[in-house]
């Protein structure tokens, strides 16, 4: 079967992480994502990120651009802009992840493009959005983790604020943009009218605060960095050291507390008035943690996993290498092979969204401008002489 989005064409003026991550999710589902790259600046900066960068390609670039095509267009040149408008007329959406003040300046908004395609959906993903005092500022995941409050809750209470080990705001922002884009196309196909969508990484991060925001806005609770990466109110839900590693226990229901202390040969703790309920354990969390930590240190991680799995939510704290070889990850097909002309057979993480009966088809992200001629011929009907002329003028 063909991909469920194979009737969608997207022009993506995007680079680095957040935007390409979101567009790759759609490309994996069959959308024709045509990545527009600047020939003057050597394309997406992700092509040059180490390790493994060579000849205008990199492992970093490939991890974000699977199944996408590359067309070089110089949007500073009049002919480049006209080519872009011609492609937009035959596309469903235009996506960009530029700084908030740039889409309007480069003519990537619905107002600028609706004459050539009234049903076009124009999606902007930026750090701070297209409006507000910080619209013209560059915004990156690290910065957004800081100003959204994420870092104030991450790390040890006695240490400095810390960022998450992965670019969680970038990825969430990319997914939000992808969801907005397909929703916009759905609406446009019903109404015949497109729109502008303004997605911000900061907005995404604030939305992700969710219940912590509700607690802060409506009570005197203030989220802070917690010892042992604990949940702010549910105890025990945290990291515990074993005699050869670490594991996470998540007692999100009262029954899990009873199951936990029984499996640990500490059944009397279930009736201890200090620990009987969530509220009791929260009040006496330091005492509870001392008892459990001492017991967890007496056995190996494997022993505890064998004892607890099936009765208490538990997980080993894996390294990245261990996570990628985890039995469940392999069983779920989350590692895919992508043949690449430069790097050989690349192993990459799959999309989390896969449709039954649709065989995964994985192509590497194209070399810079590799699809320019084919796109201009197949979509716009340009002949070789015209393409050569455009290349000579610097438009492509």
d(CA 331, CA 200): 35
Q: 129, 289, 153: which is closest to 216 by C-alpha?
A: 153
CB 94 within 8 A of CB 11: yes
- Based on the residue annotation, tell me whether 170 is a catalytic residue of this protein: yes
Give the distance, in angstroms, between the CA of residue 320 and the centroid of all CA atoms in the same chain: 17
Region of residue 149 (phi > 0: left; psi between -120 and 50: alpha; otherwise: beta): left
- 368 Cβ partners below 8 Å, 6+ apart? 37, 39, 42, 43, 44, 47, 56, 70, 72
Q: Identify the active-site residue in 170, 203, 220, 280.
A: 170
Phi and psi, residue 37, nearest 5°: -120, 150
The H or E element containing residue 210 is helix 201-218
Q: 358, 346, 370, 362: which is closest to 66 by C-alpha?
A: 362
Count how many residues are written for the chain.
Answer: 396
Catalytic residues: 170
């Amino acid at each position: 079967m063909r991909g469920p989005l194979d009737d969608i064409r997207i022009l993506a003026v995007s680079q680095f992480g957040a935007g390409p991550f979101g567009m790759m999710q759609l490309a994996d589902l069959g959308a024709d994502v045509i990545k527009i790259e600047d020939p003057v600046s050597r394309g997406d900066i992700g092509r040059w990120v180490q390790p493994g960068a060579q000849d205008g390609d990199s492992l970093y670039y490939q991890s974000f651009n699977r199944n996408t095509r590359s067309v070089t267009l110089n949007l500073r040149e009049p002919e480049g802009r006209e080519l872009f408008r011609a492609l937009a007329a035959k596309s469903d959406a235009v996506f960009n992840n530029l700084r908030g003040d740039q889409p309007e300046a480069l003519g990537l908004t619905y107002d600028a493009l609706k004459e050539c395609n009234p049903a076009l959906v124009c999606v902007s993903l930026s750090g701070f959005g297209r409006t507000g005092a910080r619209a013209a500022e560059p915004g990156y995941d690290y910065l957004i983790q800081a100003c959204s409050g994420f870092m104030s809750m991450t790390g040890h209470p006695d240490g400095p604020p810390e960022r998450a080990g992965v670019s969680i705001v970038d990825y969430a922002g990319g997914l939000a943009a992808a969801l907005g884009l397909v929703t916009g196309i759905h609406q446009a196909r019903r109404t015949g009218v497109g729109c502008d969508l303004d997605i911000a990484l900061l907005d995404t991060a604030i939305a992700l605060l969710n219940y912590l925001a509700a607690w802060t806005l409506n009570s005197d609770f203030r989220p802070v960095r917690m010892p042992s990466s604990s949940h702010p109110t549910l105890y025990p839900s945290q990291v515990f050291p074993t005699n050869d590693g670490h594991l996470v226990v998540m007692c999100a229901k009262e029954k899990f507390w009873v199951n936990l202390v029984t499996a640990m040969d500490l059944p009397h703790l279930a009736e201890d008035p200090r620990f009987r309920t969530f509220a009791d354990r929260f009040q006496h969390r330091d005492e509870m943690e001392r008892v459990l930590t001492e017991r967890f240190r007496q056995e190996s991680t494997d022993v505890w996993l064998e004892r607890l799995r099936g009765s208490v939510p538990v997980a080993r704290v894996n390294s990245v290498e261990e996570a990628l070889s985890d039995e469940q990850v392999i069983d779920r097909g989350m590692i895919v092979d992508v043949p690449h002309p430069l790097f050989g057979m690349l192993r990459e993480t799959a999309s989390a969204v896969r449709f039954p009966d649709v065989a995964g088809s994985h192509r590497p992200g194209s070399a810079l401008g590799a699809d320019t001629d084919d796109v201009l011929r197949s979509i716009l009907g340009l002949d070789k002489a015209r393409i050569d002329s455009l290349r000579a003028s610097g438009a492509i």
